């Protein structure tokens, strides 16, 4: 999809005044200007997911496939540090290290935290970012701030559990599995509480919304209005990718025209991201020039695994 450079279409009153815009200056996913100048690196250290989304598939991982939840390797924190050092030396404009799965960053908190600690010890200037479905965000928001994570992406597909039960098969929370309305209600409440915690602490929050025809598309404007009231920095309305093996594999994909029409309508309330590429969990490089294949064999001899795609609901950093 061609970039429509409209992320700055809203005026400053739509931005939380406590969140200075210069914090986005080197983050390609939060800034249209940065995406043309800076690179990011996703470290796939988080294989486990604690919810099951109807648009996710855990079964497929093609090296030529680019979509969220896909990786060719699962790295340990130590391997992630080693790969970061190699990539940093070869990608001059690398500015962001993100953890975008392939499961959920917070459902693998020990590995996520260790990875961030190791990298911060070697590079105090790198920008930290992570994606999450938000289920455990209230538990870890404080630690994220302490670790220097300044940008967080949360996937919020709806605010109504009646809609959510058609998107999520189940939610695993505090040792129990919840389905239907109960699971969706727990997830939504956690997402909103977690976002409030982050915004109060000065973290820039991007919210991803997967646009699914007949399921949540009619509800998206209401979601965006609520996000504006919560001082979310930007929202990213994304097309459904009907992944093979997912419950939604036969659902119609979202067309560019209807997607951009929704973005334009919601842009009256909150700035919109138009340049998302729905990246892999091991993406490296500029958003328009993924170089992950160059580094795909790094650490294979050290035991890094290629487990295939693993579910994640937080769809792109």
Tell me, yes or no, whether 201 lies in a domain. Answer: yes
Q: Output the pLDDT for position 16.
A: 40
For residue range 103-135, list pLDDT tens digits in order.
Answer: 999 999 999 999 999 999 999 988 898 999 999
pLDDT band at 274 (very low <50, low <70, confident <90, very high): confident
- Which range of residues forms the domain containing residue 118? 23-302
51 within domain boundaries:
yes
Provide the number of structural domains found in the chain. Answer: 1
218 within some domain: yes
pLDDT at 244: 79
Domain harbouring 225, CATH code: 3.20.20.70
Q: Using CA atoms, how far apart are residues 312 and 125, in angstroms rounded to an integer?
A: 28
Is 239 within the bounds of a domain?
Answer: yes
Max intra-chain CA distance, the chain? 52
pLDDT tens by residue, 23-59: 565 555 655 654 556 777 889 999 999 999 998 875 5
Indicate the pLDDT class of residue 15, thresholds 50, 70 and 90: very low
Which residue did the predictor score with more confidence, 279 or 247? 247
Rounded alpha-carbon distances, angstroms, from residue 264 to 10, 105, 159, 271, 312: 11, 30, 21, 9, 27
Report yes or no on 5 lying in a domain.
no
- Is 8 within a domain? no
Q: Is residue 10 part of a domain?
A: no
Tokens found for residue 165: 């039960």
Domain membership flag for residue 216: yes
Dihedral Cα 236, 151, 134, 110, nearest 10 deg: 140
pTM listed for this prediction:
0.82
């Amino acid at each position: 999809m061609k970039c429509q450079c409209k992320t700055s279409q809203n005026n400053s009153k739509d931005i939380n005044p406590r969140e200075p815009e210069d914090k986005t200056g080197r983050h390609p996913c939060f800034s249209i200007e940065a995406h043309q100048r800076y690179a990011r690196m996703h470290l796939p250290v988080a294989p486990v997911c604690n919810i099951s989304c109807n648009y996710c598939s855990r079964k497929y991982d093609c090296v030529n496939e680019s979509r969220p939840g896909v990786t060719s390797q699962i790295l340990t924190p130590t391997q992630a540090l080693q790969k970061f050092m190699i990539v940093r030396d070869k990608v001059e404009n690398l500015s962001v290290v993100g953890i975008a799965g392939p499961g959920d960053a917070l459902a693998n908190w020990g590995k996520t935290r260790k990875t961030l600690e190791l990298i911060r010890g070697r590079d105090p200037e790198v920008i930290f970012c992570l994606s999450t479905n938000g289920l455990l965000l209230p538990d870890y928001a404080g630690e994220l701030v302490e670790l220097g994570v300044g940008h967080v992406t949360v996937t919020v597909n709806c605010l109504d559990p009646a809609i959510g039960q058609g998107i999520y098969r189940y939610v695993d929370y505090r040792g129990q599995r919840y389905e239907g309305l109960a699971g969706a209600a727990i997830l939504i409440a956690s997402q909103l509480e977690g976002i409030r915690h982050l915004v109060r602490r000065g973290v820039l929050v991007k919210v991803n919304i997967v646009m699914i025809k007949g399921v949540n598309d009619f509800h998206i404007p209401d979601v965006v209005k609520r996000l504006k009231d919560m001082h979310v920095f930007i929202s990213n309305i994304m097309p459904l990718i009907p992944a093979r093996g997912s419950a939604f594999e036969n659902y119609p994909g979202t067309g560019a025209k209807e997607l951009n029409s929704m973005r334009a309508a919601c842009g009256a309330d909150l700035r919109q991201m138009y340049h998302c590429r729905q990246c892999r969990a091991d993406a490296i490089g500029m958003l328009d020039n993924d170089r992950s294949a160059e580094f795909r064999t790094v650490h294979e001899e050290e035991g890094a695994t290629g487990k295939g795609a693993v579910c994640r609901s937080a769809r792109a950093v």
